[in-house]
């Protein structure tokens, strides 16, 4: 199968053409359903039930093309009053094996509500196919700053201080709440997609779930963030995207990343 390319087309149709168990990791950032009210691709279903039925189809295909030890990441958010993602999570975890629920902490709020807290996070449902998954915990360690390391080294309960220092310098294991600032309008990384995800966030998902040379699949490629992360980390990648304007953005982004 030819990799490192964007397939233009409908995710469900194109996923069906891929061989079973070809992808080590799948990063799916699908339309949310009526959250981005100005985007035709987010408002294309009449009812939440239609949207959920559509999700059943493409997620089942994702699970078919996922390797037995692979992970499938599915982004979702709640929007102002929408809560369809709650139903989607409930439904998908009854059909497939739940692995984790990540919080993407965007560091700043994104909607001003007068009658509630300001939303600051999105969610990433993680599903697995088999019992044993590939997960590189060391690849997503979070470094301690130098001052914290020095403070911790004052704790004299540790006998082997060299080992203690090496342990601290390796950083701590990342939690399932990932704090990565969302992209501001003026960010250099921003390339014209209304729901472009930060490269740093997608890199963490790629790094923890694959090794160099593994295939990462993104069925809703948008501006090509997954491909950019995979390329940077020397993974193979494959993206599906319906809209030609976003494919154009993704292609020039990947060319610039050479």
Ligand X SMILES: C[S@@+](CC[C@H](N)C(=O)[O-])C[C@H]1O[C@@H](n2cnc3c(N)ncnc32)[C@H](O)[C@@H]1O
Binding residues for ligand X, total number by CB under 6 A: 19
Please choose, from the candidates 227, 247, 229, 251, the residue with its C-alpha nearest in 3D space to the C-alpha of residue 238: 227
Nearest to 202 by CA among 172, 178, 185: 178
Determine if 84 is a binding residue for ligand X (CB under 6 A): no
How many CB atoms within 10 Å of residue 212? Answer: 8
Instruction: Report, in Å, the least distance between residue 33 CB and ligand X.
Output: 11
Residue 241 touching ligand X (CB under 6 A):
yes
Residue 45 vs 144, nearer CB to ligand X: 45
| 136 and 207 Cβ atoms separated by less than 8 Å | yes
Nearer residue to ligand X within complex by CB, 88 or 168: 88
- Sheet with 97-105, strands from edge to edge, namely 5-8, 236-241, 215-218, 23-28, 66-76, 121-128, 97-105, 177-179
Q: Any residues with CB less than 8 A from the CB of 60 and at least 6 apart, and which? A: 95
Contacting range for ligand X; rule: CB under 6 A; set: 28-36, 93-101, 155-163, 167-175: 28-36
Minimum CB separation of residue 106 from ligand X in Å reads 14
Is there binding between residue 24 and ligand X (CB under 6 A)? Answer: no
Distance, CA of 219 to CA of 62 (rounded, Å): 8
CA atoms within 13 Å, Cβ hemisphere of 86:
5
Please tell me whether residue 240 binds ligand X under the rule CB under 6 A. yes
> Which lies closer to ligand X via its Cβ, residue 24 or residue 195?
195
Of 192-231, binders to ligand X (CB under 6 A) are 193, 195-197, 220, 222-223, 225
Query: Which residues are near ligand X by CB under 6 A?
Result: 10-11, 29-31, 41, 193, 195-197, 220, 222-223, 225, 240-243, 246
């Amino acid at each position: 199968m030819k990799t490192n390319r964007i397939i233009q087309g409908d995710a469900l149709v194109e996923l069906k053409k891929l061989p079973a168990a070809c992808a080590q990791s799948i990063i799916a950032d699908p339309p949310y359903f009526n959250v981005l009210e100005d985007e035709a691709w987010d408002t294309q279903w009449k009812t939440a039930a239609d949207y959920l039925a559509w999700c059943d189809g493409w997620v089942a295909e994702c699970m078919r093309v996922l390797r037995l030890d692979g992970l499938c990441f599915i982004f979702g958010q709640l929007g102002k009053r929408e809560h369809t993602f709650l139903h989607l999570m409930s439904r998908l975890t009854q059909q497939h094996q739940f692995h984790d629920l990540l919080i993407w902490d965007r560091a700043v709020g994104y909607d001003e509500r007068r009658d509630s807290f300001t939303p600051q996070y999105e969610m990433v449902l993680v599903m697995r196919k088999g019992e044993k998954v590939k997960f590189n915990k060391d690849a997503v360690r979070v470094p301690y700053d130098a001052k914290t390391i020095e403070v911790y080294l004052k704790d004299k309960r540790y006998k082997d201080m060299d080992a203690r220092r090496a342990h601290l310098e390796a950083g701590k294991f990342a939690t399932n709440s990932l704090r990565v600032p969302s992209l501001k309008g003026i960010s250099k990384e921003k390339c014209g997609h209304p729901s472009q995800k930060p490269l740093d966030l997608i890199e963490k998902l790629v790094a923890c779930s694959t090794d160099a040379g593994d295939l990462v699949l993104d069925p809703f490629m948008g501006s090509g963030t997954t491909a950019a992360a995979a390329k940077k980390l020397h993974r193979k990648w494959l993206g599906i995207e319906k809209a030609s304007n976003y494919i154009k953005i993704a292609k020039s982004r990947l060319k610039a990343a050479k």
